[in-house]
Amino acid sequence: MKHLTYADQSVLVGDEAADTLVRYAAILSDTNHADTVIMNAIESGGDSVVATFVLGAGVNLMAQTTSSELNEPGNSEAVDYMNSRIGRITSAPRAHPTEEPWPTQPDV
């Protein structure tokens, strides 16, 4: 588990979710994109919460290890979402040929 510190709040999430969120935030910032990610988390009092992170340039986000023995909140959907978005941003789109013929030049 890791502490995610965002603004003045800190929540606990699983290692994979925290690492993916930090990586996604860095990629969004580098490419001048923004997004929101919703994750299950555990707040400082031990209650389960749903946290929404707004990611983009200038966002301060930190993940820190913890020795907590609480069960990790499930975030497989959020991790899958972020990984798919990372793939779209970091992979160039493929060109596909068209079936249309080249346009002809008009007579001058």
CA distance 73 to 6: 18
pTM for the model stands at 0.81
Alpha helix locations (H) across the chain?
A: 15-30, 76-90
Tens of pLDDT along 12-65?
Answer: 999 999 999 999 999 999 999 999 999 999 998 899 999 999 999 888 899 999
- Residue 85 CB coordination number (10 Å): 16
Residue 49, classified by CB atoms within 10 Å of its CB into exposed (0-12), middle (13-18) or buried (19+), is: middle
Contact criterion met (CB below 8 Å) for 81 and 37: yes
Q: Which of 79, 6, 8, 70 is nearest to 42 (CA)?
A: 70
Domains of the chain, residue spans: 2-90
Q: How far is CA 98 from CA 72, 95, 101, 102, in A?
A: 48, 9, 8, 10
Residue 99 clears pLDDT 70, i.e. is over it: yes
